[in-house]
Every structure is written in structure tokens, then in C-alpha cells.
A and B are shown apart, each in its own frame.
Chain A
């Protein structure tokens, strides 16, 4: 039997990152082939190459045994490859049928007018073949996420796709919807469609997949039988054996006061009943897979979003945080995941960025700013944090990622924050600057700051944290001591539907 897809020796580099190094993958008709790996392992990149969204730098792709050039989404569609993106890509203002047939609308009146009747009939046929009851004239924006996903699948099938890529298809689905999705996947399998299933969730892989291919750091690790291989074996393939972290000796914090405590924090399904405490001088690491709800917890503490319930205590006293300004006033600093968009005013210079959260302190009569005091304060932190900049008047956007991160840290230090929340502190920063940031975080903890670090990179969490909190699907699934094995973290991070 010819394989539907064979990918061999695929290389792909993005500026500054080698995303794929000799990646391999194959897909047989009528199988569900799971593609697994940690965040950043290259799964999505590999599949985007198969879907014609990226083009590989090296390596070959065979479809049905024939080499193909998948240079555009259109070419991939023509080769029978459909992709259901994690973030659904639909047009909410259009109907289900209009979404499915976008770009291929049936025409009438010599091609001048759209044939809406034929359009709806066609979509109804596709839904029927999926045994899905859905009115093709429904606006997509009014459908649930699960139903929108069905529309995406119908769209892919309507191209007579024999190869269907699903990127984290159950991320936003409840158990009942997952069952419906799996029923459809099983029907497609029976029809001989090959399905690539990207997921982090072990229980799902066990239920639906036939084979599992594991990737790590952009490279192929191995392919195993999904049913016979124990979960622990798959996890160890994902995290690899080399553990090169020099986990810091956790300081003795038994006498240290609790700086921040969170009780029963809840927001819709993103954050569910999260409770934890951080002591002064402690670095609490938050591990979990993408979408586990870690950033959402940070945003609730910082007042960027509103909690449905739960309370936040600072130094033992309950505080009301309804907006970021409340958190800042209480001495909580948040260094966001996306520095450029959320943390740094890239158009302003270094001095103004550092002073941004402390402007009232530098305001004199009539709100005139005391530039000299700002200059002095900025220089103090440029020196203290070793920020590499020609002067404090340098526009922040001209600095490297590591130095930009330091500016944001300086901003919160100047504001005299007691609690600092770092969301992906080293994203987009090169390795040299990374270890400097690590040192800085350790020094801040030694000074008595309470620090929360959210990171998708397990080695980073292991290297920094005195204690590790693990989240999965909005719940805190457990705490681990410094230097816990990566396998334990992955197990907690994939504990679906478990309570803390």
C-alpha cells in the first residue's frame, strides 16, 4: 500500500531559529497518525509545510508516492491536503455554506451571479456525508467553536482531501464535543482518509491514534505504535534524556513571609479554582502546555482581566484588583509575554520606558517632568542591570531583545514592586542574554522579591524555579519541588479533567 504522504529530511530555518532539522513523517491511508512533541518541537511548522503555508529549505515531500511542490495553500489543496488550524480560520460574517465554498462558488447566469441554491445544496450534501445536522445557511459567527471546527472539516473534505491535518483540534472542546469529533474522525478513517493529529493530550492519543511520531527540537525522534507503547515511553521520547539544568538549591524560606496568595481564582473555563502562595524571596515556576491557563492567571492577578470569583491577598491582606493600575499601586509588576505589544513603548527612549510606571514621582509643579531625576533613576538601573545602551535617550526599539527585557524589569523595580510576574521572560532572547536574565531573577529573589515565572520551556522552569506549579486546562494540577524530573511535570501538564 502506497503511503499518502512521505516527508524526508525536511529543514526549515526562520531568522535566528532552526525550526526543523531533517524532520521526517509519513501517513498511510485510513490511519490517525499523532504528531507529538513539546512546544517549539516543530510540529506545526512541519505541518504548515505540508499544507503549503511555508516552503521547506531542504528535503522532499511525496504525495501518493510522487514528489510534489507544495509552494502555496492552493497547491496543497490541489494535492488533496486539508488543514484544520488550531486557531480556526473562518469568516464569521458568512454562512457555513459560504465559508465552505469560498473561492469556488457555484455560478449561474453565465457566471455573472452566484447560485446560492446550489451552494447550500452542496454544503448540505457534505454535512450529510459527515452525518452532521447543521443548516448550511447558519452564520459561522453564531456557531460554537466545536461546530465551527466541523465547518472547517467539511470545507477540507469538500476539496476531496485524502489527507487531513488537525492541529490541537480538541483544545477548545468539551467532552461531548470531543466524542462527536472522534466519531467523525472514525468515519473518515473508514473512508480511507489519512489524518495527522497534533495533540499534547495522552489520553486522546491512546483513544484515537494508530501511530505516534515524536519530534524534539525540530528533529525526528521516532515512530511507535500508539496502543502498545506506554505513555511514559512517549513522554521520555518527547523530553529526551539529557537534563542539563543546574537547578538552584532552593533557599530555606520557612521563616519568610508569604508575599502573594491567591485563593480559588476562577474565570470562565480558562482559569478554574486556582490557589497558591508565593513567599518573599521565592521563585515559583509555572509549567504547562500552551493554553493551560498560566498567562490567564497572571492577567487576573494583574487586573488585566476580571475574575469571576476568588481572592488575592498581598502580605496577608485582601486586595481588590479590578484594573492594572490597582495591581501596580499594590506593588505587583507584570512582564508580559509579548514585550513589543504589551510591555515596552518601543517608540520611547530608554529613560521614558524605565520611568513609565513611576511618572507621578517625577512630576513637579504643573505636571512638568523632572528630567534630571528621571535621567538619574534610569542610569542607576542601566548600571545595576547592565543594560547595554549608548545612553538613556536611545529609542528602546533599537535595543536587543535581552536589553529590552531588562528595561521592562527596570521599570517595575523603579516602581518598587514586591511581586514580579514574568511571562515567558526569555522568549526571543539569545542564549547569552538568557543566562544574564536568569542571574538577574535569582538576584531579585535574593533581595526578597516574590517572583512568578511562566515559561513554556521546561528546562527554563527547572533551572529557575524554587518550586514548580503545573497547570492543565485552567486547573492547577500539582506542585513539584525544584529539580523534579521532566516526566513528572509532563504527566501533571497532561492531566486532563483532573482536580488539584
Chain B
């Protein structure tokens, strides 16, 4: 791995003061671990850590999708219902049509990419602001999921291997003491691949460039619309993976699920230090953001803090994170 990739992963290369902030987010995560492990002996047990990681997998993958869009200066409110839409498509391919598992996986990811392609065109060619475009797509996809599934959950009982996508543990078969669920491996794999895409490929370069100054990119003779569509398509494909993870965990596609997931995903992105103004951000930051949210939920639950208060605390942290981001930008300029 080159310095550049590592720098991209830990967030040194993008944005002045970024490294310090990343340390802050990471420091907060460590602090949470220390506090919760002092508060409860159960917190640091392997089974609990694995539960936290498993709980992070779906939101983490969705947050990665949201990250690439947010770096372009856009926003994606449709990641949650797109995830469900992709799960439903997997259900159609595997359960309704009875096709083999690889086709179900491909179907879900392609459905995600297709929906992302549509969103991208609405944003880049019809010039609808991303907030509105993805709000519309959020509702369209929610409705389509209900229509296609006939408003009933689709179960994957006919595809025995399906649940192991998220719940099985390849690691566990090798090292039985640490049965890291496959869903967590998927999350890490997606994180590494998308980090590579962002730091090493032309698509990644244009993702940052569009968010930094779209007009500059256009005047450099780059096809900005085409690349923007590509970014949304990539984000859609990642949502497809999230759809597979959640369907595998529930052993079913739940068509009514999904709305609200986009807010958790965006929260993770923001806590992870990606600027909503675009132009900067890292996947590692987003992973840390997603982990902070799950660790909080898990730790507060172990400490018997009621669910209602967990929500209040998460909200407070989002506002704090954005405020810190603003301070950072003010200092940088």
C-alpha cells in the first residue's frame, strides 16, 4: 500500500486539520470503550464486541454509500429504502423465481446500481437538487418495494445458504474463539474497496473534485455529469450490498423496513468528519462514526439507559460533530 492510500484511509490527505479531527473522532470512540468497560464488565466480552460489530455492518455499509455522495457535495436520502428495494429484488430472484444464490446476489447489487443510475441522472441531467431528487427516490423505492412484494415479507427458506451471507462465520471455522460474523467481513471489504476507489482511481479523484469545485472540473474539460452519475451508481450498488446483509440477517426481505436508516447513515458520515459541504471525507472516518453510534447504543443498553435517552444522546452527538466540523473549517480558511 502506498503512503497515499494509507493517508486516505486515515484521513490525512484530505482537508487541512483533518488528521487532528480524525484523532478526535477516534479518541471519542476509545473514550466510549473505556467508560463503558468500566461501567459494566460485560461490555468488553468477545460476544458483546462481536454483537457491536454485527450491529454496525448494515449501517456501516449504508454510511459508506452516503459518504461517496456527500463528498461530491450532494446528499442521499434514499439509501435506506434502496437497501430494502434491493433486498426485495433478491427475494424475487431467489424465492419467487427460485434461481441460484449468485444470481440473487447479482440481482440485488444490479438493482441498487440501476436505481443509483436513475438518481444520478435526475441530479446531474435534470439538475434537481440532490436533497429533492433523493427524497423523491426514497418514496418511489419504498412504494415499489411494497408493490413488488405484495406488502408481505419474502422469506429465503428456499435458499439455505442465504443467511450465512451475514450470520455465518468463515473466520469462526478457522479460529473458533473469535467467530467474526461474515457481515462484518463484508463491511470491512466494502470499506477497503471503496477507500481504494476514492484514493486511487479516476472516479475517486472526480468525486472529491466535484465536491471541491464543480465549475473548475467542468472548465477543465471533464464530463462532470457522467462522473456524477457514476458516483450515484456506485452508491446504489453499495446499497445493494447492504440490502443483502439485512435480508440475510432477517432471513427475509421486509418491505416496510428501510425508512429512517438513511438518517443513521448520514449521522455516521457526519460524526466521521466528512463535510456536508463536499470535497473532503474518508471511509475510515465514516466507519468510526458508525461504530460510535453502535457502541453508544450497545453501551447505554448495557448500562440500562432507556432507549428514548439513547436517541437524545445520539442527536446531541450529531450536533456536536457538525459544530466541530464548522470550527475546523473556520480555522482552516
Contacts and interface: CB of A to CB of B under 8 A. Distances in A.
Tell whether A and B belong to one assembly.
yes
B279 A103 contact: no
Question: Most chain-B CB neighbours within 10 Å: which of A53, A77, A105, A141?
Answer: A141
A113 B217 CA distance: 19
B219 to A, nearest CB: 5
Contacts of A103: 217, 220-222
A465 B134 CA distance: 53
A103 B219 CA distance: 10
Interface in B290-333: 332
B218 A102 contact: no
B67 to A, nearest CB: 14
Interface string A106-142: 0100001110100000000000000000000001011
16 contacts: A73-B219, A89-B219, A91-B208, A91-B279, A93-B14, A93-B212, A102-B209, A103-B220, A103-B222, A112-B201, A113-B200, A114-B205, A116-B4, A139-B16, A141-B15, A141-B16
Nearest to B196: A113
Given A93-B279, A94-B208, A142-B16, A107 B216 contact: no
Contacts, number: 70
B81 to A, nearest CB: 30
Interface string B191-221: 0000000001110110011011101111111
B45 interface: no
Contact of A91 (B2, B4, B204, B216): B216
B145 interface: no
Nearest to B203: A114
A108 to B, nearest CB: 9
Nearest to A99: B216
Interface residues of B, number: 27
Interface in A26-82: 53, 72-74, 77
A94 B217 CA distance: 11
A485 B220 CA distance: 44
Contacts of A139: 15-16
Contacts of A114: 200-202, 204-205
A114 B207 CA distance: 14
Main secondary structure of the interface of B (DSSP, over half): helix
> In which size bucket is the chain A interface?
20 to 34
A113 to B, nearest CB: 5
B9 to A, nearest CB: 15
B4 A105 contact: no
A98 B205 contact: yes
B4 A93 contact: no
A102 B2 CA distance: 21
Contact of A73 (B2, B201, B202, B218): B218
B245 to A, nearest CB: 26
Contacts of B218: 73
A94 B15 CA distance: 8
Contacts of A74: 221
A91 B213 contact: yes
Given A102-B217, A102-B220, A141-B332, A94 B209 contact: yes
A74 B217 CA distance: 11
A139 B2 CA distance: 18
A184 interface: no
A93 B221 contact: no
A90 interface: yes
B252 interface: no
Given A102-B222, A114-B201, A114-B202, A90 B16 contact: no
Nearest to A112: B201
Nearest to B204: A114
A25 B280 CA distance: 42
A92 interface: yes
A105 B203 CA distance: 11
Nearest to B214: A91
Nearest to A120: B4
A113 B280 CA distance: 20
Contacts of B15: 93, 139, 141
Q: Which of B4, B200, B216 has the most CB of A within 10 A?
A: B216
A59 to B, nearest CB: 23
